Copies of this chain bind each other. A is one copy, B any other.
Amino acid sequence: MTHLFSFEERSQRLANVRARMAKQDIELLAITSPENIFYLCGYSAMSYYSPQALLVSADVRDPILVIRGIDVPCAAHTSWLSMSNVIGYSDEYVDQVDRHQWSFIVNVIREHGFAHNRIGLELDGYWLSPKSVQILQDELPNSRIIDTTLLVNWVRAIKSPAELQLMREAGAVADHAMARAFEAMRPGVRECDAVGQIVAAQIGGTVRYGGHAPSEPVFIAPGTRSDSPHLYWEEKPFEAGTSVNIELGGVRQHYNAGLSRTLSLGPPSDTLKKLMDANLEAMDAALNAVKPGIAAEDVEAAYRKTLVRYGFDKPSRVGYTIGIGVNPTWIERTISLKPGDRSILQEGMTFHLMAGLWQSDVSCTASETLIVTGSGAETLSTLPRGLHCLD
């Protein structure tokens, strides 16, 4: 198998995770989020609706992956683990009220001598249910559970050169999809048909860079729905004279670049132009503020200070760390660009600066996925940020 990342890089990831485990005195990390499993062993399959765990011990042993039995061949095709470290459970454990998948995982933990460990779990993630934790507590009474929700996410916060390259490629795929959006969205075209074309561009990707599975649906909010950030498309046709907010992602090997723009299906109103002008100037202020050593909230403050000067306000955060994502989100959950987040930006971090102004009367969106470099922000889109107006 050709690996996406060098042996050294893969080893370094585990070493970084173990260094953080040591700080919290964690003996075993049972990782359940598919992003983190992919990061640490390369396993990539849409199997995470069934409980699964990557067991990382504090010692030098290779991690052990426990997944549903029918997905073990998926690991052979994607993971860099030795197949002797991949263990599958039978369908007797699937959607069976009296036989839970975590009873199987707990058995693997026990058989490998971890039953008395301090075990780190992602207690505030999506893919570990309260019942699963209860089973572990009941069946391993001598273990001690520690919350390690974002432990691996923080290791992922600073990207390697190989990861940054994938992010740049994802940016190219996002641009490709947005260009398709500008072509496909026309008055009279059904929203679903246009979104179908956009997603075809996301997935097909470019000639150089094929696309991966999107981590979020394409969000479009045309006309009277433009006050809403996260709606699905409908079946009705676009109407001339309205504007449409678009948010989509380009993905390469699970690495995501987010991209938002606003399309005006006809000449834009003055209020829309004024709102977007203020938004763009505020985005520039934020982008100029980005550098290693600055606090996340100071980037947001630069954005907000400019925006309020024009009489507008943005109550929601203006961005977040982005990178590996699987459905339903590409958000890394470590750093937010919002008041009170004093995390320090470091070289190699990647953010989605998402400047969405969803107001009841007029709305617009513009965004950039950016890399924090030694000299400032490197933005991944080559498309103009302003309103795209249909002739």
Contacts and interface: CB of A to CB of B under 8 A. Distances in A.
Interface of A: 44-49, 69-71, 73-74, 76-78, 90-92, 94-96, 100, 121, 123-134, 147, 149, 190-193, 195-197, 199-205, 210-213, 216-217, 219, 225, 227-235, 315-317, 320, 326-329, 331, 333-334, 336, 338, 340-341, 358, 360
B124 A231 contact: no
Given A49-B328, A192-B210, A336-B95, A315 B131 contact: no
Given A192-B203, A204-B193, A225 B123 contact: no
Given A69-B315, A90-B315, A131-B147, 10 more contacts: A44-B232, A49-B126, A71-B228, A124-B130, A124-B131, A124-B132, A126-B126, A191-B210, A199-B199, A327-B328
Contact of A336 (B69, B94, B229, B235): B94
B131 A48 contact: no
Nearest to A75: B228
Number of copies: 2
Contacts of A48: 328
A336 B129 CA distance: 20
Contacts of A199: 196, 199-200, 203
Contact of A131 (B149, B316, B320): B149
Contacts of A233: 203, 213
